[in-house]
Structure 1
């Protein structure tokens, strides 16, 4: 498990980035609502089969918590990202806007007294992150293009941030059933399916297109982005905490842009690259400072209680 724990952040960055690429993959052949509906038809059914086979059971308090976190961290976040890409926002730029979430979460948790300290440093990091975003997307927005996509990406980021903070301040119920990442994925996946089913049916966008590219995109989104990306997100959040998992997401814009360049030939303007670099500088400031050795030892002694606290979080991709 120590090997997985050490490798998990790198896997998180690569797999989480794949979701932005999957959105770009599907955008030419289907509306965002259609893609998200069928992504969760496949993902939720798979998870339900697994948890039923394993005999998992959930109490009302657990279901209530995971339903709220799933609605915010999966349905709200993904709808914003997919609508952003549908509006023509490049995958790397959408990821860059979404990557403001780590600094925002760090500042909110620090202000609430639940962070790791360094509130002023984290606030400066958030400001630098915004400066990087402005550098990357500002020219397009000023020219009248990309504003709608940028707004959707920001709304999705705020939804994920809300889920992240709420997952930290709302402890998972201790019902003795030992819920883990699998349970969170299953419950939140079903909730997201319900949200997107309502949206798709209400907008008349539930019917999938005949284009086989659509189903390739769905397979990509379920296998890499949902099972891989969200699974690693929840695992890293559970084992390293909310600020740590959010901080790693700052590395996803450059990886997403590299995916999109390799797969779709998307250009990487110099200002966009500069924006990536500036935003990355922001995350370095949001990282918690090193604690003293006695403090680390004390934290280690308190680890069982902390692990229960993060037993089933959601910050999700």
Structure 2
């Protein structure tokens, strides 16, 4: 019964990532924010590991987890935060990253031989259509210039989280969730330290918005949401897990409406409905025939 609620809790937590970035980034540079976030997260995970006496992986598995960390946390988060800092609208960023379920399904189909039924393909396409409606409805009246580096950053984010999800499914199944995540964040912290000290001034204004956003990004996202994601990847097919990400942009739009008074149009509401339908189709299990031949 508890496992059934894992995807719902994960989506609710994951959807707040863009909100946290919006609160934090006016007061700090993106790579420095992620570096501080990773250091705090490492301390939290180390405490959990010691208290719960989690089993440490061998060198080979630790290496796999560090690769996953660079892909799912380092490149993905670094790209998203850099794109937002470079003035790419959060809606555009979420729309590009929202292509992840389709890209993951395609990569799983091509590289892992994972079969997708027609109704699942229909669900994935419907989910993409719904996400596009939600985000484009709030962007049609806006004019903005896309910075080339912002576009590169968000495309790298899309590719990295898709590959990282598949990599974790293939190589990370035997690793303890706590110690595996520790190595993921260790690799990410090292990566962000290099980027922050190479390209940023590392100036920080410790505004209350930044402090609260940082605490939420650590405990709500880096600890709770990521552990749920690793559990989902371990228990389910990669394409089915990835389809949950389609629910993130609509939820983010609702949260932005609630927190920042961004209005939802009728088209956006229609997009949310289509997105939820698409996720249902992508996750729908095939009917099992009984002995009498009745499905």
The 5 A counterparts of 1:49-198 are: 49-53=47-51, 54=53, 56-91=55-90, 93-112=92-111, 114-118=113-117, 121-123=119-121, 125-132=123-130, 134-135=132-133, 136-137=135-136, 140=139, 145=144, 147-148=146-147, 152-170=153-171, 172=173, 179-198=175-194
Task: Identify the match of residue 19 of structure 1 among 17, 20, 33.
Answer: 17
Task: Identify the match of residue 46 of structure 1 among 44, 47, 52.
Answer: 44
- Larger mean Cα displacement after TM superposition, 224-233 or 282-291: 282-291
Task: Identify the match of residue 32 of structure 1 among 16, 25, 30.
Answer: 30
Task: Identify the match of residue 247 of structure 1 among 240, 243, 259.
Answer: 243
Q: Deviations over 1:69-117 (max 9, x none)?
A: 1100111111122123324455455334323212221232233454243
Distance 2:43 2:140 in 1: 40
Q: Sort the Cα spacing of 1:134 and 1:260 in 2 relative to 1 into closer, same or farther, 3 A.
A: closer
Distance 1:205 1:293 in 2: 63
Q: Any conservation in 2 of the 1:99–1:253 contact (CA below 8 Å)? A: yes
Distance 2:146 2:269 in 1: 19
Q: Deviations over 1:198-218 (max 9, x none)?
A: 110101343432323222111
Q: What is the SS of the residue equivalent to 2:116? A: coil
Distance 1:32 1:268 in 2: 28
Could you list the runs of 5+ residues in structure 2 that have no partner in the other structure? 291-295
Could you list the runs of 5+ residues in structure 1 that have no partner in the other structure? 295-317
Alignment partner, residue 211 of structure 1: 207
Number of positions where the alignment pairs a residue of Structure 1 with one of Structure 2: 286
Q: What is the SS of the residue equivalent to 1:58? A: coil
Calculate the TM-score normalised by the size of structure 2. Answer: 0.82
Q: Any conservation in 2 of the 1:22–1:217 contact (CA below 8 Å)? A: yes
- Larger mean Cα displacement after TM superposition, 64-73 or 279-288: 279-288
Distance 2:242 2:220 in 1: 19
Q: Any conservation in 2 of the 1:103–1:129 contact (CA below 8 Å)? A: no
Distance 1:113 1:212 in 2: 46
In angstroms, what is the RMSD of aligned CA positions?
Answer: 3.0
Alignment partner, residue 258 of structure 1: 254
Q: Deviations over 1:112-144 (max 9, x none)?
A: 4542432x5555555555545555349959976
Q: Any conservation in 2 of the 1:103–1:122 contact (CA below 8 Å)? A: no
